[in-house]
Amino acid sequence: MPPIQFSSGDVIADRRADYARMLSEAGDHAAAAELFEQALEIVPGWTAGWVLLGEAHQKAGQVQQAIEAFRRVDELDKTGIFGAQLKLALLGAAPTPDTPPSAYVEGLFDDYADRFETALLDKLNYSVPEKLFAMVGPHAPFGLTVDLGCGTGLFGVEVAGSTGRLEGFDLSANMLAKAEEKGLYHHLAQADLSSALTTEALFAEGLAKARADLVSAADVLMYLGSLDTTFALVRDLLKPGGLFAFSVEDAGAAEEGYTLLASLRYAHTETYVRTLSAGFGFELVDMRKTDIRMDGGKVVYGILFLARLGG
């Protein structure tokens, strides 16, 4: 994946962008946008600069200008690492993607890995791993647990003592490196849960299908919209009668099965998850609605599910 070019490569443009950031931090987003525009006159191909411009316009309430900036990002960013389609969808200028670009999610967590646990545990009151394990624990021990989107291994810490073997998969190589430092996982590998083509890592190196007693996805599915590919994968991973423990952000009474939030995460309705689970042969064992973290000073509510695959 190419590095995100936060420097424009031009000293004068970078200086104006730095001043613009200072204005934005002070709350003067319209003035910040003007300076970003001046920087982009010098370096019109600077993708990250167009992102910063779009965000400044958006915060200033200048919606149409924000849309134009994010459309430029979409033209320049062939990998999708800046998530322009997500930003445009939030502004009503593009359809909501079924899944975000893999490069966007990978870049997000590669950048976040070093401060991930400090941010979640110390600042955001993140509680999904322990709450999810409270649902799973009564069904232990497990022969094999597959931790999807394992991140730095926070759910692994909870379940390691209750499983004979623990495998972890994540899109972010930097998150996997942090998980490896914990020394809990017997196998770690990179995999993209949004793509059936790239989930072959879960069956590579002699790893068979129908091998897991428990599959977990703690705070993972909110980075996906449609969950069909993930449920199909979990069905392939589990032994008959195996358990799937997972969380979603709660979309409440939304009309659609899932919705894109301002955080650029997805929220899912209980009805959507229940219907999808049944369609893939799962029986709901337990479900709990609860707060899962803080975000921007507000409580984020989620739904924790425990489902069993039919034999």
pLDDT at 118 (0 to 100): 80
Phi, psi of 68 (to 5 degrees): -60, -40
pLDDT at 112 (0 to 100): 82
pLDDT at 122 (0 to 100): 72
pLDDT at 4 (0 to 100): 46
Dump strand ranges (E) for 76-202.
Answer: 142-148, 163-170, 187-190
Q: For residue 300, give the H/E element and its range.
A: strand 298-309
pLDDT at 1 (0 to 100): 33
Alpha-carbon gap, residue 150 to 23, rounded angstroms: 38
**What DSSP string runs through 198-264?**
GGGGGG-TTPPSS-EEEEEETT-GGG-S--HHHHHHHHHHEEEEEEEEEEEEE-TT-SSSEEE-TTS
Contact between 20 and 35 (Cβ < 8 Å): yes
Contact between 49 and 9 (Cβ < 8 Å): no
Alpha-carbon gap, residue 247 to 292, rounded angstroms: 9
As given in the structure block, the two tokens for residue 149 are 């989107």
Give the list of residues 6+ apart from residue 215 with CB closer than 8 angstroms, or none: 145, 146, 147, 148, 234, 237, 238, 242, 243, 244, 245
**Axis-axis angle for helices 29-42, 47-59 (nearest 10):** 160
pLDDT at 2 (0 to 100): 36
Contact between 211 and 142 (Cβ < 8 Å): no
Tally the residues of the chain: 311
Predicted structure pTM score: 0.92
Domains and CATH numbers, the chain: 11-95 (1.25.40.10), 116-309 (3.40.50.150)
Mean pLDDT, 10 residues at a time, the chain of 311 residues: 62 94 95 96 96 96 98 95 96 95 92 82 85 97 97 96 96 95 95 76 79 96 95 95 98 92 96 97 97 90 97 73
pLDDT at 197 (0 to 100): 60
Q: Give burial (CB, 10 Å; 0-12/13-18/19+) of 162.
A: middle
